[in-house]
Structure 1
Amino acid sequence: MVLDRIFHALADPTRRAMLKSLTSGERKIGELASPFSMSFAAVSKHVRVLEQAGLIHRRVEGRAHFCQLNPDPLAAADEWLRFYESCWSKRLDALEDALRAEDASQSHEK
Structure 2
Amino acid sequence: MPSEPEETAVAVFTALADPNRRAILASLAEHGPSTATDLSGRLSITRQGVAKHLALLADAGLVTSDAGTGRRVLFRHRSEPIKLAQGYLAALAADWDDRLGRLSSFLADPPG
- TM-score normalised by L of structure 2: 0.71
Pairing 1:1-110 to 2, within 5 Å after superposition: 1-24=7-30, 25-61=32-68, 62-86=70-94, 89=97, 91=100
For residues 38-97 of structure 1, the C-alpha deviation after alignment (integer angstroms, 9 at most, x for no partner) is 321111000001111111111123221111111111111001110122356565xx89xx
Asked whether the 8 Å contact 2:36–2:51 carries over to 1, the reply is yes
Higher relative contact order (CA 8 A, sep 6+): 2
Number of equivalences:
96
How far off is 1:27 after superposition?
1.6
Distance 2:71 2:34 in 1: 14
Q: Percent identity?
A: 30
The AA in structure 1 aligned to 2:79 is P
**Distance change in 2, residues 1:84/1:37 (3 Å):** same
Unaligned runs of 5+ in 2: 1-6, 105-112
Return the TM-score normalized by structure 1: 0.72
Code of the aligned partner of 2:16: L
Task: Please provide the CA RMSD for this pair.
Answer: 2.4
